[in-house]
Each structure stands twice: as C-alpha cells, then as structure tokens.
Structure 1
Amino acid sequence: MAQHNDTGKQGEAAALQYLQDKGYQLLETNYRHQHAEIDLIVQRGKLLIFVEVKTRSNLSFGEPETFVSYAKAQLVMRAAEHYIYARDWQHDIRFDVVAVTITPRGEVKIKHIEDAFC
C-alpha cells in the first residue's frame, strides 16, 4: 500500500479515537454514495455529524484543512443528503473537518473544525 494511504488510514483512526473520546458515537466509516465518500459519520445526542478527515505528514504546502476543496465539500453534502434520506433522519446535522498532522517523530496533532461547511 502506498505511504499516503497508510498516512490517511492512520489519520482516520486518530480522528475517530479523538471523536469517541469526546463522546461521539460512530455510525459509519467510509460511507459511499456514487462518486462521493464521507470519511466518518458520527452522532452526538440528536446531532448527526458528517466528518471529512484530512491528514498530512508534511506541512510544506499548508495545513491539512486547507485541502478540503469546494468540490469535495459538494460531494460530501450530496452523499450526506442520500444518507439522511435513506435513514429518514429528522434532527440536526453538521459538517466537520478533522485535520490531523503526523510529525516526523510520529506525534499526532488534531484540529477539530465544527461547522466547516454547509
């Protein structure tokens, strides 16, 4: 497997652990609808949160969260619509980004951005 895939999986695992430590309940990982994928779908009370995880081990080109493009946000929202409709979700939703940085020494730094796009 390519190094970037390993880094991405490590970042998603770290993001999930972070969210679970904060009281979020995991509903889905890597939810797919057509060409879109949502990294994590979690719930906290009556709030459904769709989470895009961005992981970087090198910050030369910017912070991880800056790599969530408008097009990516649109894809996530489209997949979220499908998920909401399929499960007849009747409560609030939110779109978050969890930015994960893995330092050369293997330290993991997490930034949780709530309501990142809508």
Structure 2
Amino acid sequence: MSKDWHSSHFCCWECDESLTGQRYVLRDDHPYCIKCYEGRFANNCEECNKSIGIESKDLSYKDRHWHEACFLCAKCRVSLVDKQFGSKLDKIYCGNCYDAQFASRCDGCGDIFKAGE
C-alpha cells in the first residue's frame, strides 16, 4: 500500500515532516525534505570535504566529486570547469601543469611530446 499523497499527509520519506508548501526532492519515487536529502544522498567535495548540497553544481570524475568552485588544478589553482584536465596520483591538473609535471620529454631537446608527435 502506498503513502497517502493528499496535501495534509505529504511528508518527507525520512523524517516524516510535512512537505506541504516546502521545497523537497523526489528520489526513487519518494519525497525528501532538503535536509534529509542532503544528509542521506549528497556527495562530499574532494577539495573542501563539505557536502555538495542541492544548490551547488556537483562536478564528478571517476566517482569523485567537487563543488564547481572547488574544481581547481592542484598546482596552479585555475578553474577546470569546462576545460581539459589530467589526473595523476588522485589529483587533477590543467593541461599545462599536467604536461609540465608528467608528460614524456625528448632526451635530446627536452621538449614535451604532444599527442600525435
């Protein structure tokens, strides 16, 4: 038997608080108040270790998550949002920093080998 969805009985699936007139999130066909949803389902940011709430954009890569403002190069701290980046040793880097630290170099001239060379 399903829950009664009349407005007087529309409650959070977790804490049973009334959601009538309140913001809520629907997950797996169940309504949750914002507090319960974030406490149960929100990811923690790799950079600041704080919860990524519903008001924040959750950026993810290989099952790791960041706030949009925390998605930065580990070396130069430039934003990596909508940019190519590399990952090494559980850190993320902009293309320039990644190449400078990890790309193969020519034994003769020391230049970095770029893709296609």
Question: Smaller-chain TM-score range?
Answer: under 0.3
TM-score, length of structure 1 as denominator length? 0.21
Query: Comparing both structures, which one devotes a greater share of its residues to helix?
Result: 1
State the structure with more CA Rg. Answer: 2
Query: Comparing both structures, which one devotes a greater share of its residues to strand?
Result: 1
TM-score, length of structure 2 as denominator length? 0.21
Q: Which has the higher contact order (CA 8 A, sep 6+)?
A: 1
